[in-house]
Amino acid sequence: MEPSVWDLLRGKNRLTEMEYSVLLFAAENVSLVREMNIRELAARCYTSPATIIRLCKKLGFSGYSEFLFFLKGQQPTLQQTERPHHEAWADQFRTHVTNFERTDALISEQVSDFRQLLDASRSIFLYGAGFSTFFAEYMAKKLHLQKKQAWVSSAGDSRSLFLAHIEHQDLFIAFSRSGETESVLEKVNIAKQHDIPVIAFTRATKNRLGELATVHIPIYDDQREESTAASSYDSNLLLVMEMLLHR
């Protein structure tokens, strides 16, 4: 029997965080993706066409066209696939609140350090890969309102563009849920070579990005990273950013 797209997702140990995000988006939005060219999908997932090509080849397809053909054939299967039932809305809400309270306890000592670095910085570089790019862009807009110069970059941008701007920055802010995204770690190491302090937002787990950061803001999340169930990570990260920026 031909594997389903969910079988491909369960084999995500071969995929990077960004590749997994693209595949998950395609699986959950087949009707939309089937009408997209590769550049449109890359823009929607905050990545590059080259990343999508690498994903297709990792999955055993010759290229993007064959991947789309596979997805179109999977659509009936996707509609019939029984997905795990979500918990009751009230239970999920309580879980989100509990996880935020745990996050608040974890970051209580980092809040003043975050504010000191932010207040001392005029020009700030923000970086995220995959869905984390959204958080970098969101914070950049908030920083603009505070009269800060904020630059945003993602894995889809060229390395030369990053290098052209980083040496003129006062602060580097990185976003990675896993804290293990290679493109993010590479940029953080470059920032540290230029003696630029680093603030990192990740899950509240031991990870390389958190260890490299000058200030680490851990977001507590009890959901497994590969799970497609509702997670408190994204919503609580937004809430934490709002509170940090306005305290």
What's the CATH number where 35 sits? 1.10.10.10
Q: Does one domain contain both 123 and 76?
A: no
Residues 241 and 126 in one domain: yes
The strand ranges marked E within 87-159 are: 123-128, 149-154
> Could you give phi then psi for residue 158, rounded to 5 degrees?
-70, 155
Given 80, 105, 135, the domain boundary residue is: 80
More confident residue, 52 or 87: 52
> How high does pLDDT run on average in the chain?
84
Statement to judge: residues 102 and 166 lie in one domain: yes
Three-state DSSP class for residue 103: helix
Q: What is the mean pLDDT of residues 154-172?
A: 84
What is the rounded average pLDDT of the residues 200-222? 93
- Say if residue 128 is in the same domain as residue 235: yes
Both 69 and 183 in a single domain? no
Residue 201 predicted with pLDDT over 70: yes
What distance separates the 2 farthest-apart alpha carbons in the chain? Answer: 60
Whether residue 76 is found in the same domain as residue 157: no
More confident call, 17 vs 148: 148
Instruction: Give the number of C-alpha atoms closer than 13 A to the C-alpha of residue 82, restricted to the C-beta side.
Output: 1
Same domain, 120 and 194: yes
* Distance from C-alpha of 66 to C-alpha of 61, rounded to nearest angstrom: 6
Residue scoring higher pLDDT (222 or 34): 34
pLDDT over 50 at 80, yes or no: no
Q: Which residues contact 6 (CB under 8 A, 6 or more apart)?
A: 27, 81
Q: Are residues 146 and 75 in the same domain?
A: no
User: What is the extent of the structural domain holding 66?
Assistant: 5-80
Number of alpha carbons in the 13 Å side-chain half-sphere of residue 155: 29
Q: Residue 210: its pLDDT value, please?
A: 95
What pLDDT score was predicted for residue 2?
A: 57
Q: Are residues 34 and 125 in the same domain?
A: no
Domain boundary among 80, 106, 126: 80
Which one of 48, 80, 112 terminates a domain?
80
- Confidence label for 82 from pLDDT (cuts 50, 70 and 90): very low
Total domains in the fold of the chain: 2
- How far is 1 from 210, CA to CA, in rounded Å? 43
Q: How confident is the model at residue 7, as a pLDDT?
A: 65
Same domain, residue pair 164 and 210: yes
Mark whether 93 and 76 lie in a shared domain.
no
Structure tokens, 72: 């179109």
**CATH number where 182 lies:** 3.40.50.10490
Average pLDDT for residues 224-239, to the nearest whole number? 75
Same-domain check for residues 96 and 193: yes
pLDDT value at position 84?
45
